[in-house]
Structure 1
Amino acid sequence: MRIGVLGAGTMADALGTRWAAAGHELMVAGRTEGKAQALARKWGGRAGSFREVAEFGDIALIAVLYQGMSATLAEIGDALHGKPIVDCNNAVEIERFTLVTEPGRSMAQDIERATGGHVVKAFNLCHARVWEMEPPLFDSRRLVVPYCGDDSAARDMTRQLIADIGGEPLLVGDLQHALHLEAMAAIVISLLFGGRDPHTVFNLVDHAPVSTNV
């Protein structure tokens, strides 16, 4: 599969590295040309402009901080029209840890409206360090990765990309459910900023189990 990676940060690095290892062909664009070139060398791929990368891929990953999303989408233009897009982003401000998108709408829906592509929300609930695991196993079980979208072909491709990094794909509905995944991410991000380990963010058991003897 040809994957256009739009963004050169930690999420792009983590996911792209795993997909390159699985045999996919990658091309990357980033705000910092040096970072994009470094990832391209790491993956054995190529770097280019945002529009070039969007045109390259059979599917695109958008991994951009929400503050730069509008500028990125403007550079992409119509190059993603009709194409599958994986959105792993979270528009969460880090003072009150709330969504900054329009009430009732998700970032995934906004990306789909702006690009004319077929967006699937996925990979947004875990820190990049989790996606670096080879594979992401917890208590010897594969990590369940929720995803949602409207287009069946885009969902199928995303399902394959989840499986390629060793995750257990879990379809949770159409794209309107992306709002709920993004709201859940706000909780995860607040816990991470509070000092939780990215690998055990929901593990609330800090001591030995309490005896159940009566």
Structure 2
Amino acid sequence: MRVGVLGTGDMAAALGGAWARSGHEVFVGGRNTAAAGALAGRIGAAGHGTPAQAAEYGEAVLLAVPAGAAPTLAREHAGALAGRTVVDCTNPLHPGPGGVMLTTGAGESVAGLIGAAAPAARVVKAFNLVHVSMWDHPAGAFGPVPPAVPFCADDPGAAGHVTELITGMGWTPMPAGGLDRAAYVEATAAFVIGVWWDGGSPALAFPEPPRAA
């Protein structure tokens, strides 16, 4: 699959690198094209250039930019993103007096804002619940039961693209409903990251019921 990556930061490097290793054709786009070129060379991408070129390149396009910038970036490239799977991996968070807080309004999600900014795009929320360092692990590193990547999508074709990206990395797709559920996934990130910052393990809060199978 052709994948355009908009951004040159840690998530762009980790996910773009994982997808390049699993055989996808990755194109890195950044406002700083020198940084995009350096990242493309580091992860073995097929090419690099501007955000507009990355948006036009990919069947799937990753928005790997700060959460506050993602809807604006989507609006700037709405024409190029039309009909494409647009993956939102962002977390709209900031430190608050009681812990990590959401920057979005009640019931609002960054994924939804991206969808409103680029209404012809097929937006998917995914890859936001795991620390960036985990995406660098090779397929099979987690043992016989691969960990899951929850995702929210309205479009079946977009869900298929993201499922392919997840399974190629050696992870398990976990459908979490339509894009109207993305706010819950983003809120879960606030909980998970807050527990990490306090030195806890959020996985311990979700033991599987004995009759779950």
With the shorter chain as reference, the TM-score category is 0.7 to 0.9
Residue of structure 2 aligned with 1:191, choices 185, 191, 195: 195
Partner residue, 2:208: none
Indicate yes or no: 2:62 matched with 1:61: yes
Indicate yes or no: 2:53 matched with 1:49: no
Indicate yes or no: 2:160 matched with 1:156: yes
Residue of structure 2 aligned with 1:99, choices 99, 102, 106: 102
Give me the whole-angstrom Cα distance separating, in 2, the residues matched to 1:195 and 1:87.
27
CA root-mean-square deviation: 2.0
Q: Secondary structure at the match of 1:85?
A: strand
The structure whose Rg is larger is 1
Distance 1:137 1:157, change over 3 A: same
Partner residue, 2:89: 88
Indicate yes or no: 2:202 matched with 1:202: yes
Structure 1 residue 74 displacement after superposition: 4.3
Distance 1:85 1:44, change over 3 A: closer
Give me the whole-angstrom Cα distance separating, in 2, the residues matched to 1:203 and 1:154.
28
Mapped contact 1:50–1:75 kept (Cα < 8 A): no
Give me the whole-angstrom Cα distance separating, in 1, the residues matched to 2:141 and 2:180.
29
Give me the whole-angstrom Cα distance separating, in 1, the residues matched to 2:164 and 2:127.
13
Distance 1:80 1:170, change over 3 A: same
TM, length-normalised to structure 2:
0.86
Indicate yes or no: 2:128 matched with 1:124: yes
Gaps of 5+ in 2: 206-213
Give me the whole-angstrom Cα distance separating, in 2, the residues matched to 1:36 and 1:194.
34
Partner residue, 2:169: 165
Gaps of 5+ in 1: 206-214
Q: Secondary structure at the match of 1:148?
A: strand
Structure 1 residue 106 displacement after superposition: 0.9
Structure 1 residue 161 displacement after superposition: 0.4
Structure 1 residue 155 displacement after superposition: 0.3
Distance 1:186 1:40, change over 3 A: same
Indicate yes or no: 2:39 matched with 1:39: yes
